[in-house]
Structure 1
Amino acid sequence: MTQGTESLAIEARGICKSFLGARALDEVDFSVARGEVHGLVGKNGAGKSTLVKILAGAQPPDAGEIHVGGRRYSSLDPLECQKAGIAVVHQNAELHLDLSVAANIFLGAEPRTRFGLVDEATMARKAKALLDQMNLQVPVDSRLGDLDIALRQQVAIAKAVHKDAAVLLLDEPTAALNKNQAEFLFQLIRDLAAKGLAIVYISHHLDEVLAISDRITVLRNGRTVHVVEDRSADKEALISLMVGRDLERTVRKTVTTSFPQVLLSLRTINVPGKLRDISLTLGAGEIVGLTGLVGSGTRELAEVISGVTRADGTMVFGGEPFAPATVREAITRGVVFIPEDMRGRGLVMPMPVSGNISLAALGKLARFSWLNLGGERDEALQMSDRLDLHPRAPEKEVRFLSGGNQRKALLGRAIFAGAKLFVLEDPTQGVDVEAQRQIHDHLRSLAAAGAGVIFLSTDLEELIDLADRILVLREGRINRDMTPVGLTPEALLTAIQAQSTEAEAHV
């Protein structure tokens, strides 16, 4: 349906955003009408997250303007978003688990007694009235941390409604929900839209987007490529729009299929609510890509292999039983995890490059309990040469490196630690094309020398270009085991979106 300007709750025009010279958004237009559920889709790297951060006031655009509430903004900050009635609910809602439901809803705007104290009774009464109005059965006096994830999400939405939100951004809202919980959420979304709220629904689950959305905007390579009006597209059409038709270069012609030496074997691995009966074999020299929708279990599987999470089942690594209780134990055995979140889980940003590279294997540089700083510097220089890490300055704080060189430093740490199996999350997330090519080449070289590589990615081209096999997970199980030979991004995305949870024959 075509929207008139007067009916729009929010409109973004000509939004541009670049990071380190790479264009994340290029003249993006996006609008949502009052009472509309508007889906936002695009494959990984299309620009969805960047656009949402700009609309939510978390990042400023480089160019463009945002119209909301009858006002024009060149950029928004969180306070302006609150005043304008823009609220965002992430898949991991930012709530306070130790507070009550009522306290979370009214946080920062608690009703007070005439003595200035929080009026707990009034707050509970108003919270219950709000939840009743939204047809939500949530106990207002309960500690939020005692409730399940679905109820917490309902509280987050109620908090947004209480703050008079006119625009609600829902980011992967069903990632941690079961089918019944998701259906309840869909009804809540429809009820809120019927009352005039403008809702942006961001998800990789295309069936959900098609079911709930009045219109759908498709982003590709940082640009708006199409707006689907009046529910006029099906899943196959959305996939075609998301992927495009100019990706023939990614089609693989050949792939190595024989890896006689088994490096890692998993049998019936289970993590309650996360993984179900996972079995796989990885050969020495093999590169396996893991992919799936949000919540499919790819990250949990990587964390089990890397010692981050314990699981039931059997693992054998290098011919010996393998059940690491800690990440340190996994590293000692030769399994090193390289996280996507470099700042939060990977690098120590104020530390120099040399210190970050040696961090997982300081024992190699210790002399009588003293760290050999000269040896550490020499090792960092050698690793910089090996991985094309620039600048070639071991003493430089790693936070001053580009994203691509930071990722190389993490890879260098794993190599220095003596990794025989590299487990990576989104190994080239946020890097430029040249850095991606270099990282892929380094991983291929490590595999050619006999190491194993398991990497998680939602980048379709990366999976096809780098992996010898691609495992598609869904609902905690391996749903497809695919060869990249002749595989197109469109066919891979179709497999990721498939509804069947039964393991299918090898493609």
Structure 2
Amino acid sequence: MVEGSENLAIEARRISKSFFGARALKAVDFSVRRGEVHGLVGKNGAGKSTLVKILAGAQPPDSGTIRVGEKTFEALDPLTCGKAGIAVVHQNAELHPELSVAANIFLGAEPRTRFGFVDEKTMAEEARKLLEQLKLDIAVERRLGDLDIAMRQQVAIAKAVREKARILLLDEPTAALNKSQADFLFDLIRDLAESGLAIVYISHHLDEVLTISNRITVLRNGEKVGVVEAGEADKESLIAMMVGRALEKTVRESVTTAFPAVILDLDAITVPEKLDDVSLSLGRGEIIGVTGLMGSGTRELAEVISGVSRASGTMTLEGKPYEPASVRDAIARGVVFIPEDMRERGLVMPMSVGGNISLAALGNLARLSWLNLGGERKAALSMSERLDLVPRAPEKEVRFLSGGNQRKALLGRAVFAGAKLFVLEEPTQGVDVEAQAQIHDHLRALAADGAGVIFMSTDLEELIALADRILVLRDGSIDATLSPVGLTPEDLLTAIQAQPSAHANTQSEPRSTKAATHV
């Protein structure tokens, strides 16, 4: 790679940006070379998303300049970015759920017939070829809104590839991908970089950033801390730069195996073609982690427990029959669901932080059918203090919070609703290492107070660090029960990818995983 400004694809100089008096970026310099994969890291609130939005033309900086090729701009806009060859794939794919996969891939560049109509046949054929090239098994005629979050992310990446960008901004591109999909994406990124593209890779997964990047820029509190060569950095040094100190590692030397009582018991839970005869018990104070490959049934299990969907078989909650007819019914019984896609299925983004926290238990704040706004604010402040939710501003719209604080707000809603069983999908997806540690601590504290926690995750280190037991699902059945003690991410990955019941370290029969000793 040739040094010098002539090899720069994009360069931002002394970029500053503030929102409502709060500084997001302060005099940040950032540059990416042609043919380079440049990692951008920092904890939530460090300024990564703001910088990406400025580079993508979604927001103007307050000051500074941006040079793209031979041209210098005080600000970019979407039209200028398109002409300059800048494409972005955000963490939350900005696509149209009512359109087909093919229409989304060619959005704004639809092939036309000689009469000016959209050439649906050609568009579908070209989209199919592109998806085959990317090894993505998605039917091009499917409605995008019918796809899960992982497939929607894949479509967004395919759209960016189709646009043949010269500068590609990838914001948490693997957030909803499994390992094989992420590995393929890395190969694709390397190929694109070798062809001369400049790629900015933003992720909280530092192992990924170290694997894929040539250089890494670290932001902290809106300022650039430094730029490091990926080959000269490690995860611990990046974390120290991001948070200003080293975080202590959590080493699982032991776990609790005796719990005072069973809070949740499932027996032969079955959903045709999704779950097959799942039986398990969760102890009061226990944390169970559930994982598996895409389509293994983890989401379906979470939705059955939390009242989103129904199943055959039986469930009991604190020894009493439990058949939630809806999410509202589950909440009334003390079971609260925190979904993976928190912005679509969890939070009400235009609503205040206080409004989101109180949403599942408005009856607690009602006086003669009138909402006690003062009480809501007081409750939100108390919950913000308890969960270290920043800023302590109940009236602030939740959409302005960082990803980590948005997840804390959802957790706060569950706590305020009086949850005794927490069901979570990807509880720390898209949050930085410090926020992840905080959320883990909050969940451990809730379990210590007697709550039950069951979480679905594809983060191997999270499963090992947080769970008392790890269940591996395959084809809708529990294929293995693992202890996190002495377990490495490599061991867990082997168990997830192994042939059914073919791996070591299973601790109970594959199809049933009743809780360990209950006193």
Q: Secondary structure at the match of 1:500?
A: helix
How far off is 1:238 after superposition? 2.9
Does 377-386 or 129-138 show the bigger shift?
Answer: 129-138
> Which segment drifts farther, 402-411 or 2-11?
402-411
Write the deviation string for residues 60-117 of structure 1: whole angstroms up to 9, x where unpaired: 45555432132233443333321221112356654456656664454334455676x3
Q: Work out which of the residue numbers 141, 144, 159 in structure 2 matches 1:143.
A: 141
Q: Does the alignment pair 1:247 with 2:246?
A: yes
Q: State the identity %.
A: 57
Could you say what secondary structure the match of 1:200 adopts? Answer: strand
SS at match of 1:247: coil
C-alpha distance in structure 2 between counterparts of 1:497 and 1:226, whole Å: 33
Give, as a single letter, the amino acid of the residue that structure 1 aligns with 2:122.
A
Q: Deviations over 1:342-368 (max 9, x none)?
A: 7654455677888766643566788xx
1:281-296 paired onto structure 2 within 5 Å: 282-285=282-285, 288=287
Q: Which of 122, 125, 130 lines up with 1:124 in the alignment?
A: 122
- Determine if contact 1:220/1:242 at 8 Å carries over to the other structure: no
Is 2:262 the partner of 1:262? yes
Q: Is the 8 A contact 1:41 1:216 kept in 2?
A: no
- Comparing 407-416 with 161-170, greater Cα deviation is found at 407-416
Summarize the Cα distance change of 1:134–1:387 in structure 2 as closer, same or farther, 3 Å threshold. closer
Aligned residues: 475
SS in 1 for 2:108: coil
Residue 234 of structure 2 corresponds to 238
Q: CA deviation at 1:324?
A: 3.7
Match of 2:88 in 1: 88
Per the alignment, do residues 452 and 98 of structure 1 end up closer, same or farther by CA in structure 2, a change over 3 Å counting?
closer
1:247 partner letter: A
**1:228 maps to which residue?**
229
Local SS of the residue matching 1:244 = helix
Aligned counterpart, 1:393: none
The AA in structure 2 aligned to 1:228 is E
Shift of 1:372: 1.6
Distance 1:40 1:452, change over 3 A: same
Is 1:165 the equivalent of 2:165?
yes
- 1:6 shift after superposition: 0.8
Question: What's 2:199 paired with?
Answer: 199
Cα 1:172–1:263 change in 2 (3 A) is: same
Superposed, which structure 2 residues align to 1:411-422 within 5 Å? 413-415=413-415, 417-422=417-422
Counterpart in the other structure of 2:390: none
Q: What's the offset of the Cα at 1:337?
A: 2.8
For 1:160 and 1:173, the matched residues in 2 are separated by 11
My pick for the range that moved more, 331-340 or 142-151, is: 142-151
1:397-429 Cα offsets, whole Å, 9 max, x none, are 663998599888766654554422244675899
- Please report the TM-score for the alignment, with normalisation by the length of structure 1: 0.64
Give the equivalent residue in structure 1 for 2:513.
Answer: none
CA distance in 2, matches of 1:450, 1:138: 43
Residue type matched to 1:501 in 2? A
* Separation of aligned partners in 1, 2:142 and 2:84: 27
Supply the distance in 2 between the matched residues of 1:5 and 1:141 (Cα, whole angstroms). Answer: 43
Residues 20-419 of structure 1 mapped to structure 2, 5 A cutoff:
28-40=28-40, 48-61=48-61, 64-90=64-90, 93-96=93-96, 103-110=103-110, 117-118=116-117, 120=119, 124=122, 128=126, 142-145=140-143, 156=156, 159-160=159-160, 163-173=163-173, 185-186=185-186, 188-203=188-203, 213=212, 215-217=214-216, 219=218, 221=220, 223-228=224-229, 232=231, 238-244=234-240, 246-247=245-246, 257=256, 259-265=259-265, 282-285=282-285, 288=287, 303=303, 305-308=305-308, 316-322=316-322, 324-338=324-338, 344-346=344-346, 348=348, 359-361=359-361, 372-373=368-369, 376=372, 380=376, 383=379, 387=383, 399=397, 413-415=413-415, 417-419=417-419
8 A contact 2:365–2:376 mirrored in 1:
no
Task: Give unmatched runs, 5+ long, in structure 2.
Answer: 387-393, 497-503, 508-519
Change (3 A) 1:209 1:478: farther
The 2-side partners of 1:93 and 1:440 are apart by: 27
Identify the match of residue 500 of structure 1 among 485, 494, 497.
494
Q: How far apart, CA to CA, are the structure 2 residues paired with 1:479 and 1:63?
A: 55
Q: Distance in 2 between matches of 1:310 and 1:125?
A: 38
**C-alpha distance 316-17 of structure 1, shift in aligned 2 (>3 A):** farther
Match of 1:486 in 2: none
Between 54-63 and 304-313, report the one with greater CA deviation.
304-313
Return closer, same or farther for 1:326/1:375 CA change in 2, 3 Å cut-off: closer
**Residue type matched to 1:169 in 2?**
L
Residue 242 of structure 1: how far off its partner (Å): 2.8
Q: Secondary structure at the match of 2:76?
A: coil
Give the TM-score of the pair, scaled to structure 2.
Answer: 0.63
CA 1:482–1:72: 2 relative to 1, 3 Å: farther
Deviates further, 240-249 or 450-459: 450-459
Give the CA deviation at 1:479.
Answer: 8.8
Unpaired segments of 5 or more residues in structure 1? 391-395, 484-490
CA–CA distance in structure 2, aligned partners of residues 253 and 91 of structure 1: 31
Partner of 2:501: none
- One-letter code of the match for 1:143? E
Q: CA deviation at 1:335?
A: 0.7
The CA deviation at 1:383 is 3.7
The separation in 1 between residues aligned to 2:130 and 2:110, in whole angstroms, is 19
The secondary structure found in structure 1 opposite 2:196 is coil
- Pair 1:193–1:427, CA change in 2 (3 A): closer
| SS state at 1:88 partner | strand
Which range moves more in the overlay, 125-134 or 198-207? 125-134
Residues 397, 208 of structure 1: alpha-carbon distance in 2 compared, 3 angstrom cutoff? closer
Q: Which residues of 2 match residues 446-485 of structure 1 at below 5 A? A: 449-453=449-453, 469=467, 481-482=483-484
